[in-house]
Amino acid sequence: MCTPTPHADHPDSHEERPFARGLGELRTGRRTAITAGAAGLLFSTLAGTQVARAAGGADTRRRAYVLVVDGCRPEEIDSGLTPNLHALRGGGLRFPRASSMPVMETIPNHVMMMTGQRPDRTGVPANAILDRELGAIRDMDRAGDIKVPTVIERLNRRGLRTGTVLSKEYLYGVFGERATHRWEPMPIVPVAGYAPDVFTMQATLAMLEEFDPHLVFVNLGDIDRFGHSDLTGTTLQLARRTALAATDALVGRFVEELKSSGRWEHSMLVVLADHSMDWSLPTQVVSLQAPLEADPLLAGNVVIADNGGADLVYWTGPSSRRAEAVRRIRAIAEETEGVLRAWDRRAEWLRLGPEAGDVVVFCRAGWRFSDPDPLTSNPIPGNHGHPATRAIPFFLAGGHPRVPRGKASSAHARTLDVAPTVASFFGLPSGAALYEGRARI
């Protein structure tokens, strides 16, 4: 789920939250901070960046901007509410078959975008996992959770400047200190865990003016946020429509800035969503904890990490009985109404790695998981993580001559294609030795 996690009684609440960890990095001098603009925006810069810049070949005028319109459904760009996104898509190279990858959640797909790898390599399969060492469910919001290099670090090593403007606290956390320049949203959103798009875009424009990074990675969270609260009632549908229009206007402002500052001709924009969105009524909630606990083998030996449209089930009993437990978990889950399919996590196509537990259960469209508690664990009607939320908008735009004009591709673009596309744009190696995703330019 994309909103502050429903496990509000966060088991690791005694630990520092990502923004607090970021302040620690400033205090210890690993990053230096400057304030830019009148709005009190705070940016931090990786210590030693000046040295790296002098050593590198940062004189290219090329700029790449990855804009993630969180939770946007592809058809919403045809709704008439998003004229700027619509024009950008029509003017560039669009991928109508594009998809998010399992688990179709925010953190794993943002990590796939920047690493170009699937979760069994990145180490980040879902928003929430059972941390077996900690003995608790937690968000994957630690910089150390990403086990492979990102394109951000590869650009840094070439002396190119990178920037992250991430509106969600857990994204800020998982990308950590990687970018040379980072927006520090603390003064604006001390506790919400989330910054409204108007601030995120203000920060993006201020970052352009102050540092002009070669790559900027931006998460716009409003559409997703209002998606989660949509109960399919008219008032809340209106909220989502308003968010779509407002976020689109901010994207328009960004394009205007690129054009008026002369950056457009040198720019490539990668615009995509991390996943789509599905809605469920309160009567269409799946809760697996009770049926699993009713099984004598499984009782007391299973833990569930609820990821909205996907339940990750962990066997915590003796490993000698794991195979039998997986069979029973799958059978019980698949007998439960609202469940689409329960997979052995080791199924080859999933590519999720051990962090995702032993059984991965997807719900049907129009349903959601609420575990362990059927009433309180996940009260959010809007969800993703299940196959119904795979389809995403994905297109390249911008004025750089390498960006095709007014074309559609039949290729199946995926979130993990972003990193090799950015690498290729800057002339860095982008092949299969470094990335599973494909360069789409």
Chain contacts with Zn ion (rule: CB under 5 A): 2, 70-71, 106, 224, 274
Q: Which is nearer to Zn ion, 2 or 66 (CB)?
A: 2
Q: How far is CA 58 from CA 45, 151, 385, in A?
A: 16, 15, 39
Backbone angles phi, psi at 427, to 5 degrees: 80, 15
State whether residue 198 is helix, strand or coil.
helix
Q: Which is nearer to Zn ion, 326 or 392 (CB)?
A: 392
Structure tokens belonging to residue 251: 């994207």
The CB-of-309 to Zn ion minimum distance in angstroms stands at 12
The CB-of-274 to Zn ion minimum distance in angstroms stands at 4
Q: Which is nearer to Zn ion, 179 or 277 (CB)?
A: 277
Q: Which is nearer to Zn ion, 106 or 421 (CB)?
A: 106
Going by C-alpha positions, the residue among 395, 422, 415 that lies closest to residue 74 is 395
Answer for the pair 302, 96: CB distance below 8 angstroms, yes or no.
no
The CB-of-167 to Zn ion minimum distance in angstroms stands at 10
The CB-of-317 to Zn ion minimum distance in angstroms stands at 33
Question: If you search the block for the tokens 């980040």, which residue do you land on?
Answer: 124
Question: How far apart (Å, rounded) are the C-alpha atoms in residues 94 and 37?
Answer: 35
Question: How far apart (Å, rounded) are the C-alpha atoms in residues 124 and 103?
Answer: 10
The CB-of-224 to Zn ion minimum distance in angstroms stands at 5
E strand spans, 240-284: 267-272, 278-279
Answer for the pair 345, 262: CB distance below 8 angstroms, yes or no.
no
Question: If you search the block for the tokens 């590198």, which residue do you land on?
Answer: 56
Rg of the chain's alpha carbons, rounded to an integer?
21
Q: Element (H or E) spanning 286, and its range?
A: strand 285-286
The CB-of-39 to Zn ion minimum distance in angstroms stands at 25
The CB-of-190 to Zn ion minimum distance in angstroms stands at 22
**Residue with CB nearest Zn ion?**
106
